[in-house]
Chain A
Amino acid sequence: MVDALEQRDLGNDEAAYDQLEIRCPKLGGQVTFRYCRHEGGRLPCQRALVCWQVFFPVEAYFKARMTDDDWHRCFLTSAKPRIDTLLECIEAAKKRVGESG
């Protein structure tokens, strides 16, 4: 039986974080940490802590680089249910299409 692999030390190589790879449960494909840092545009993906926690101390990583406001907005605000997102997208799209039409 294959065993889980041993842990390795990342060291202090800052750029190495960006090259780490993970399987994104939202996309269903491989992404690098660099992608997760910017998935929300200016902010990281809301799932970044959940996904990366196993690989390195991601909480400390972001806390050192984000303002308190951004931290709260990104990680401590409940994500909207998908149906809400869908309805908001419909309203926003109607507005955009209406304005351009």
Chain B
Amino acid sequence: MERLKVFLEESDMPRQWYNIQADLPTPMKPPLHPGTGQPIKAEDLAPVFPMNLIEQEVSAQRWIDIPEPVLEKYFLYRPTPLQRAVNFEKLLDAPVKIYYKYEGASPPGSHKPNTSIPQAYYNKAFGIKRLATETGAGQWGSALSMACQMFGLECRVYMVRVSFDQKPYRRLMMATWGAECIPSPSDRTQAGRKILAEFPDSPGSLGIAISEAIEDAVGDPDARYSLGSVLNHVLLHQTIIGLEAKKQMDKIGIYPDVVLGCAGGGSNFAGISLPYVCDKIHGKQVQVVAAEPSSCPTLTRGPFAYDFGDTAMTTPLLPMHTLGHDFVPEPIHAGGLRYHGMAPIVSHLVEQKLVEARAFDQIETFTAGINWARTEGVIPAPETNHVIAAVVNEAKKAREEGKEKTILFCFSGHGLVDLAAYDAFLSGKLIPYALPEEEIQRALKSIAGFPKP
């Protein structure tokens, strides 16, 4: 019988996080302050982050000890299991073995507590009494609420109003963990009041909520701000995922050919992949893939042709399912992890060709997620569906190439609090609407003379 789960004892859980900054072949350029044009200094970040986290943010130390109080909280749900998806493998009918790290096992159901717990701890250790943050749909807000409760901190979450109104379960989770969840824009901050004065019915946005949370922290010396993605220290904390996975795979004597994660802000992707990117830097053969959201429609509609990557026709001809390079403006075709919300480390690794990015649209991702739920049982978070779509894509490639592959991916969270998204898909609300024929013809005319692969 095939082994379906690999567990680690608490005693075998890694005691250090891995910092890839120490191993980058080309160091990252220091981020510049947009106001001064000078490299960012610790004091630029000090109004919103405690100094112990700022030190981690700029650290080049390879291994950073996980404090004992953080380990104790991690033990509530870590080590998470490494699982084999044999039923999904059967469905795909491809020569692949699929392993996944199940991060849905945490109390809020995602990988987010891997950083919310240490962030709460470090703030507490620095003498902070309250954390402020923003949340979109509530995944980060709920993870931080739980972590603050664990370390006796107050927590204030500015939740984008459109989600606040639509997502009662996430805000109830926050309330249960003792946090104050405020719809944004709110009257608590000048930023919020200004928006409300101009647009009283504003549904809010992530940008407004960030402004409110930061203003809240800046205005209270006992408060700081907390962010759940993008920053170096966030990615550092998430490496516990990949470090555990390596130990678990070692236990059964395997090493993955491909490591994948979904990449919104980059935190769970970095978590699973950075320890493997380290191996790759040191000569190991492993492919690392980031699956990102996109709505490029071209797989189902455009012909497969060589097309320019941009409207100026300056990039090499790329084989792609295309509706023509002039169909959408350049930034859209550019795609590929240039989304401004991506973690700088991940963008740097893509530029260095240590990581490759692939984009999947919502139809592909929900199709993959539903097939997963119908074979493996767990309903994935909609973000997780992106990486499952990438796994499907990888399995198809393996079948076409006749190559056996071992795939490892990060199952970043379950979707039990996101069933509205499945409702939208299953009730047909995510149906792509047909483009007018003249639009398609206009676009196709622009690639009429291009060679076909």
Chain A residues within an 8 Å CB radius of B162? 27, 29, 31, 35
B residues 178-223 touching A (CB-CB < 8 Å): 189-191, 195, 198-199, 203, 205-207, 210-211, 214-215, 217-219
Q: Contact between A54 and B211 (Cβ–Cβ < 8 Å)? A: no
| Interface residue from B48, B295, B367, B432 paired with A7 (Cβ < 8 Å) | B432
- Chain B contact patch, size range: 35 or more
| Interface residue from A29, A89, A94 paired with B166 (Cβ < 8 Å) | A29
Residue count of chain A within 8 Å CB distance of chain B: 63
Chain B residues within an 8 Å CB radius of A51? 295
Given A30-B420, A60-B439, A76-B329: A93 touches B34 (CB 8 Å cut-off): no
The answer for the CA separation of A50 and B363 in the assembled complex, in Å, is: 14
Stretch from B12-20, B350-358, B400-408, B422-430 at the A interface: B422-430
Number of A-B contacts (CB under 8 A): 198
**Chain A positions near chain B (C-beta within 8 angstroms):** 1-10, 20-31, 35, 38-41, 45, 47, 49-57, 59-60, 75-76, 78-94, 96-97, 100-101
Q: Contact between A7 and B421 (Cβ–Cβ < 8 Å)? A: no
Chain A residues within an 8 Å CB radius of B207? 40, 85
Q: Contact between B434 and A86 (Cβ–Cβ < 8 Å)? A: no
Most buried by A among B34, B300, B382: B34
Q: Contact between B428 and A5 (Cβ–Cβ < 8 Å)? A: yes
Q: Contact between A75 and B331 (Cβ–Cβ < 8 Å)? A: yes
Q: Contact between B167 and A56 (Cβ–Cβ < 8 Å)? A: no
Q: Contact between A76 and B330 (Cβ–Cβ < 8 Å)? A: yes
Is the C-beta of B294 less than 8 angstroms from some C-beta in chain A? yes
Beyond known contacts A53-B328, A53-B332: 16 more, CB 8 A cutoff: A4-B364, A10-B434, A23-B382, A27-B137, A30-B420, A57-B436, A82-B342, A87-B35, A90-B218, A92-B191, A93-B214, A93-B215, A96-B190, A97-B215, A97-B218, A101-B219
Q: What 10 A-B pairs are tightest by C-beta distance, nearest first?
A: A79-B340, A27-B136, A29-B137, A54-B297, A28-B137, A93-B215, A93-B218, A54-B295, A25-B293, A10-B433
B residues 427-453 touching A (CB-CB < 8 Å): 428-436, 439
**Closest residue on chain B to residue A41 by CB atoms:** B199
Chain B residues within an 8 Å CB radius of A35? 162, 203
Given A1-B91, A39-B205, A59-B327: A81 touches B344 (CB 8 Å cut-off): yes
Chain A residues within an 8 Å CB radius of B214? 86, 89-90, 93
**Closest residue on chain B to residue A25 by CB atoms:** B293
Q: Contact between B424 and A2 (Cβ–Cβ < 8 Å)? A: no
Chain B residues within an 8 Å CB radius of A96? 189-191, 215
The answer for the CA separation of A5 and B203 in the assembled complex, in Å, is: 30
Given A4-B363, A29-B137, A54-B297: A40 touches B421 (CB 8 Å cut-off): no
Given A27-B206, A29-B420, A89-B211: A2 touches B371 (CB 8 Å cut-off): yes
Q: Contact between A54 and B432 (Cβ–Cβ < 8 Å)? A: yes
Given A57-B436, A87-B35: A93 touches B420 (CB 8 Å cut-off): no
Is the C-beta of B341 less than 8 angstroms from some C-beta in chain A? yes
Given A10-B433, A29-B166: A94 touches B47 (CB 8 Å cut-off): yes
| Interface residue from A50, A54, A60, A88 paired with B34 (Cβ < 8 Å) | A88
- A4 → chain B closest CB, angstroms: 5
**Closest residue on chain B to residue A76 by CB atoms:** B329
Q: Contact between A7 and B434 (Cβ–Cβ < 8 Å)? A: yes
Q: Contact between A23 and B341 (Cβ–Cβ < 8 Å)? A: no
The answer for the CA separation of A80 and B32 in the assembled complex, in Å, is: 12
Is the C-beta of B163 less than 8 angstroms from some C-beta in chain A? yes
- A26 → chain B closest CB, angstroms: 5
The answer for the CA separation of A87 and B197 in the assembled complex, in Å, is: 25
Is the C-beta of B94 less than 8 angstroms from some C-beta in chain A? no
Is the C-beta of B40 less than 8 angstroms from some C-beta in chain A? yes
Is the C-beta of B264 less than 8 angstroms from some C-beta in chain A? yes
Chain B residues within an 8 Å CB radius of A60? 439
The answer for the CA separation of A7 and B331 in the assembled complex, in Å, is: 25
